[in-house]
Structure 1
Amino acid sequence: MANLLGSRPRLAIVGASVRAAAQSASRAGLDVVAADLFADADLREVGPATQIEDYPSGFCSWLEGVEADAWMYTGGLERWPALIDRMARLKPLWGVCGAPLRSARDLQILHAALAEAGIGFPETRPSSASLPLDGSWLCKADRVWELDRPNAAAAGLERGAVYQRRLTEQQGRPASVVFVLGDTWARTVGVTEQLIGPRHGAAPFQYAGSVGPLEVGRAVERQLKRLRETLRHDFELRGVVGVDLWLSDDEFWVLEVNPRYTASVEVLELSGATPVLGLHSLAFANEAPANALPASQPARAPAKKQILYARRALYVPDSVQLGAASPGMGENAAWLADLPAGGQRFEPGDPILTVIARGGLAESSAFARFVAETESRLYGATPTPE
């Protein structure tokens, strides 16, 4: 489709893994040039792609050398706000930088602002002093771990962690909401459930995928509207913003704010949402959305994605046929994405590829069979590297 700006800008996209964002940009009618850690085959199908070895500092020289009208970043890069600020001086940034980025990523600032707005947020402390070592609190820095022993507290001190009271399954489930925020407007794209941790083949507290969209009740809708206006007005965030939640039937708690394209955007788009990066581009063009999303959308076809992490050391030879790297045309389809190049080695815990489905094939049993078939091809036909 033609993008909502009526022209075809060239967008540079950077991050740890940008295939999903690049395909989203293509769906929104944008030309793409990309750089990430993998330069997977299906990313290269969208546009020129570069594998960055000096991560993340290598993005700066790469951006300086490419032709692009604007650039954006995806997951992981928000942890280097000074780098983002330097890159924003090279080319126009469709994204958040400077003080808004730092404030949104500071859990203590976020906690205070959301509490004042009447939005749920787990109790957060700057120090582990006097906290019990029983796993009822989490250490949050560049990763998340339980505060369950003295070594965990020592690691928190070393990494500059903050400490957040742990929410339980009786209180809700992990979820995410995607907003698009402009100067004078805001849209809620949708809510998804997050797949987190070992039950989905990931490390504890690690993201493994998303499924959605989730329907939420009116009480949650009202709270989400208050949240997005707080982020737009008080934090001055613009463009695509993802917020991790702990969601129950009638309320939620905010876990963290990711002021950039998030992995769940792809799931929402595959379930029928308006191309999100088209709206994202408008947030930086000072234009109101031409095709505004309705306040509440009807139920759409489900979609699901799951990252497969290596269970052991793995070598993927050229001879292994992993399957299609693009979606089928029907409402019921399943495919693989982030396909590795043949001859690639993976260490335990490395991301290998992503399984994606929509419609009936996104339902639990059908999706699980597709995951099992994919893992059988990976582990059944490939030897462990010596």
Structure 2
Amino acid sequence: MSLTSQKLRRISDPKTARSVLLCGASVRSLAESAIAAGLRPLCVDFFKDADLDGLLESGRGRFVGRINNFTELPAMVRSVRSTIPMLWAGGLENHTDLLREIGLHRPLIGTAPDIADQLRDPWILNNWLAKAKIGVPRLATQPTADADCHWLQKSVASSGGLGIGLYNSDSSETATHMSHGRYLQEYIDGVPMSALLCADHAGVHLVGMSLQLIGWPSLGASGFLFCGNVGPVDPGEQVTQQVLEAAKILVERSGIHGVFGIDFILRQSHAWFLEVNPRVTASHMLYELQQPGLVIHRHLAALGWKSGNPRRSLLKHASRPLRALSPVAARLILWAREDIHVPEGFGNEPRSAVQIADRPHAGTVVPRSNPFCSILLTATDCDEIIQKLELLTDPSSANPNSSLRTLQTRGYSTRIIACQLKLLWQKYIQSTSRPEQGF
């Protein structure tokens, strides 16, 4: 079977949604996109961020409730009219039993639970991609498979880099963990990246690719914890075709449609597959700067839905191939190194030197090891992103009570963040083996 011979069926009579239930670990950026796509979002997540509240208080949506874990989700959404569909997001791919339970009582917009289960199984994915041009790291359940190989230990039911670590065969704790749904994946050194794609009746389309920030101490993270994206970037035709071929194989073998993500490592102009995120990923916001709501609009269309109040500009672009025309954007996720008491006015300055998103409410305490907030930056290219971060290091540019001062006093140095991003960008340029503008 060729990669283009099996196309998804065109849906001639899509269902209409005016409101949509958004559920995931954090749905602030998804709610912004849903509103831009002409939908009224009803939101459930772990954080109830202040900027999400502000967005919804304008009458364009409603916060249904905050949950502490996903097992609380079925009870939380019962208060929402059952005809309103639920669009599920980050983290729920590991709780397909809950998706099935909720799907008994309301429509779901997203990957079917059975398909998500397949796409989260590393052994199935490695089998499907065995003959693809993309690199596929080896898998094992025991380190004796190859004692000379560097291994990562991972869980089939984790997201955001949680629970990933280097395997130490001498650790009794590590050996114990291996018996509880964990596996070994060959460690590939390179540049962590992600691709966002959309599968619909016309085929598989690349939305864009971005650099991933993983375990940066300057952002309060450690290990393999996800702490942001920078993009879109273009690693070249060879890598693009490797990722697209892998995506087409996954679509044909699993039947997934809609928007989904692939995480991979870029090493010497070659992509190495890591995993699939069978949902709209956090990087969607990087590609919607010029056309807000377009990713959600296309996600709905691929899954047989349409907005009851779509923007005219979205309809205009609905049949065009998705391509990243956005300027470069960076989302830097700051993790709390200690308990943080959120001061009044944090992130609210109308003319602040930095845009703060995913803001906790003033007067609350963000517990240690939890996400604190995000820094959002836009520019014409990554070099300019780095320059903007370097300019933020001047304390005189910020009011002593500003959000930037709060971040600085908590040990978040934009100078160090800029240095770390510069090193990543240099490694990316070297990995593409293409002449590009450097520093």
TM-score, L = length of structure 2: 0.76
Tell me the secondary structure at the aligned position of residue 270 of structure 1: coil
Provide the C-alpha distance between the structure 1 equivalents of 2:305 and 2:201, rounded to a whole number of angstroms.
Answer: 7
Match of 1:365 in 2: 387
**Which blocks of at least 5 consecutive residues in structure 2 are unaligned?**
1-13, 307-314, 412-439
Are 1:65 and 2:79 matched, yes or no? yes
Match of 1:177 in 2: 195
Match of 1:163 in 2: 184
Are 1:294 and 2:321 matched, yes or no? yes
Match of 2:23 in 1: 14
Tell me the secondary structure at the aligned position of residue 135 of structure 2: coil
Match of 2:425 in 1: none
Are 1:348 and 2:368 matched, yes or no? yes
The 5-angstrom pairing of residues 262-301 of structure 1 reads 262-270=281-289, 275-285=294-304, 291-294=318-321, 300-301=326-327
Aligned pair partner of 1:30 in 32, 39, 54: 39
What is the Cα-based RMSD across aligned positions, in Å?
A: 2.9
Code of the aligned partner of 1:180: C
Cα 1:312–1:162 change in 2 (3 A) is same
Are 1:211 and 2:230 matched, yes or no? yes
C-alpha deviation, 1:268, in angstroms: 1.7
Cα 1:26–1:274 change in 2 (3 A) is closer
Aligned pair partner of 1:304 in 320, 323, 330: 330
Match of 2:419 in 1: none
Provide the C-alpha distance between the structure 1 equivalents of 2:174 and 2:144, rounded to a whole number of angstroms.
Answer: 9
C-alpha deviation, 1:312, in angstroms: 1.9
User: Residue deviations 1:225-244, cap 9 Å, x none?
Assistant: 21221122111112110111
C-alpha deviation, 1:34, in angstroms: 0.5
Code of the aligned partner of 1:338: D
Cα 1:213–1:72 change in 2 (3 A) is same
C-alpha deviation, 1:347, in angstroms: 2.5
Tell me the secondary structure at the aligned position of residue 259 of structure 2: strand
Provide the C-alpha distance between the structure 1 equivalents of 2:186 and 2:239, rounded to a whole number of angstroms.
Answer: 22
User: Residue deviations 1:134-156, cap 9 Å, x none?
Assistant: 88210001320110242353243
Cα 1:104–1:19 change in 2 (3 A) is same
Match of 2:122 in 1: 107
User: Residue deviations 1:323-377, cap 9 Å, x none?
Assistant: 359x99xxxx951111111111122221111111112596113135548974532
How many corresponding residue pairs? 366
User: Residue deviations 1:225-270, cap 9 Å, x none?
Assistant: 2122112211111211011110245320111100011111111212
Between 1:25-34 and 1:59-68, the stretch displaced more is: 59-68
Tell me the secondary structure at the aligned position of residue 341 of structure 1: coil
Match of 2:347 in 1: 322
- Structure with the greater relative contact order (CA < 8 A, sep ≥ 6): 1 or 2? 2
Code of the aligned partner of 2:259: V
Match of 2:246 in 1: 227
Are 1:187 and 2:205 matched, yes or no? yes
**Which blocks of at least 5 consecutive residues in structure 1 are unaligned?**
none
Match of 2:64 in 1: 50
Code of the aligned partner of 1:139: Q
Tell me the secondary structure at the aligned position of residue 319 of structure 2: coil
Are 1:258 and 2:277 matched, yes or no? yes
Tell me the secondary structure at the aligned position of residue 363 of structure 1: helix
TM-score, L = length of structure 1: 0.85
C-alpha deviation, 1:10, in angstroms: 1.0
Provide the C-alpha distance between the structure 1 equivalents of 2:404 and 2:172, rounded to a whole number of angstroms.
Answer: 35
Provide the C-alpha distance between the structure 2 equivalents of 1:135 and 1:113, rounded to a whole number of angstroms.
Answer: 23
Larger radius of gyration: 2
C-alpha deviation, 1:163, in angstroms: 0.4
Check the 8 A contact 2:152/2:184 in 1, yes or no: yes
